[in-house]
Structures are given as structure tokens and as C-alpha cells.
Amino acid sequence: MSAINLDEKFSLFNEHWTPKIVAESNGQLVKLAKGQGELVWHSHEHEDELFLVIKGQLTLRMKQGDVVLNPGEMYVVPKGVEHSPLATEETHFMMIEPASTAHTGTLKVDATVDIDEQDWI
């Protein structure tokens, strides 16, 4: 057994908007991702999605208003809420979500990474 070092895990990949799984707990996956630019507008009908920023700044754009997250800040996007993550600079963040959560909801675009294609690191 050993601790999970987030800096080490972030150093293992360079892709943007491509979640990497680092742990599982009670049916929830803990994922790391890097973002720059914007991800498509989407929602998750049955799952909440927790975002925790480690480095940079992440804007969660939502029809009800934007939430801007800085390092050490988190926000839970409630199930069914359409959102589009945006990062003007490279941003490192963690997501905690049910294992059933599809990357871009029911929307399939070039950026979509299917659940069975999300790598463990």
C-alpha cells in the first residue's frame, strides 16, 4: 500500500479533457484531468459530478451562471445540469463521480472518452 501522489500522477499524461482514473471508492471513481480551452456543453442525467481544482483555474459554465474554481476550491455540478468546463490556461483538476458517469453524457463528439477507454494511472 502506498499513498497516491497527485503531482506524480499528473506528470504521467499531457492530454486535455481526457480523464485518468486513480482510485475507486464505494462505486465512485476518482479521476484526474488536465484542461485547456473548452469542453463541449453536456449533462449527466443521473449523476452529480464533483470538480476540485489542483492547479490553474476552471470555469464551470452553466445556464444558471458560471462558477470559477481556483486551486483548493471545489464544486458539485448537480445531475441534469448542462455545463461546459473551460480553462484559459492549462488546469489540473480532480473529479469524483459514479463509475457509470459518461464523459460527455449522452453526447458523442471527438473529445468523448468512453468509460471503458478511460485509463487507470
76 part of a folded domain: yes
84-110 confidence digits (pLDDT tens): 999 999 999 999 998 878 776 665 777
The pLDDT of residue 24 is 95
- Domain hosting 73: range is 28-112
99 part of a folded domain: yes
Cα–Cα distance for residue pair 117/119, rounded to 1 Å:
6
pTM higher than 0.85 for the full model? yes
| Number of structural domains found in the chain | 1
Cα–Cα distance for residue pair 60/78, rounded to 1 Å:
12
The pLDDT of residue 104 is 65
The ranges of the chain with pLDDT < 50 are: none
The pLDDT of residue 101 is 80
The pLDDT of residue 73 is 98
103 part of a folded domain: yes
The CATH number assigned to the domain holding 59 equals 2.60.120.10
